[in-house]
Amino acid sequence: MRFLKKTEQEQQKNELTISFHATVALIGLFGGFIWSVIGYISFYLNFTRVGPALALMPWALGDWKNGWLGQLIGIVFISLLSIAVAFLYRMIFAKVNHWWPGVVFGFVLWAVVFGVLQPIFPGLKPLPSLDLNTIITNICLYVVYGLFIGYSISYEYHERTVHEGESIQS
């Protein structure tokens, strides 16, 4: 019995724990990567006319941004940008351990990109000019992305504060 207690204590000491901020950054990175790859697949299969390269449109010069290289660099850019989006979610909704804030957050992100920021994206038509498939596909992608980011962060916050008693600073 004594041997088991010692083994459990050693095992707990040996477990690698990362900070909550690092966890949020990883959730953002992988969420951006996963959902921008799915967005590229949707673009490739013609479910939407907007691919990940849209994120490069305000800055990138040349026609390469419209090809596969632009889509690939767009995926990397969205993955990195998603880290900041994850921290934004963490500041606003991390304490709400439910799925609906993530869905709302994703829909608001879609509205900001396709409504408010549309003028800075030269390749993006105004919302009324987009076809229904593009609108529905992108709403779904943004909502599921928000759900992934939101629920993952809220769940991790809840696990660390309630179950482990960790103090997470705002």
Instruction: Burial-class residue 97 by CB neighbours within 10 Å (0-12, 13-18, 19+).
Output: middle
pLDDT tens per residue, the chain (170 residues)?
Answer: 555 555 555 555 556 678 999 999 999 999 999 999 999 999 999 999 999 999 998 886 788 888 899 999 999 999 999 999 999 999 999 888 889 999 999 999 999 999 999 999 888 899 999 999 999 999 999 999 999 999 999 999 998 887 766 667 65
Torsion of CA 53, 78, 122, 47, to 10 degrees: 60
> What is the distance between the alpha carbons of residues 107 and 50, in angstroms, rounded to a whole number?
17
Q: Which residues of 45-59 are buried (b: 16+ CB within 10 A; e: fewer)?
A: eebbbbbbbbbbbee
pLDDT of the residue at 38: 98
Tokens (6 digits) for 98 = 């439910």
pLDDT of the residue at 61: 74
Asked if residues 153 and 27 have their Cβ atoms less than 8 Å apart, the reply is yes
Residue with token string 């889509």: 71
Encode pLDDT of 35-78 as tens digits.
999 999 999 999 999 999 999 988 867 888 888 999 999 999 99
> What is the distance between the alpha carbons of residues 169 and 21, in angstroms, rounded to a whole number?
10
pLDDT of the residue at 146: 97
pLDDT of the residue at 76: 97
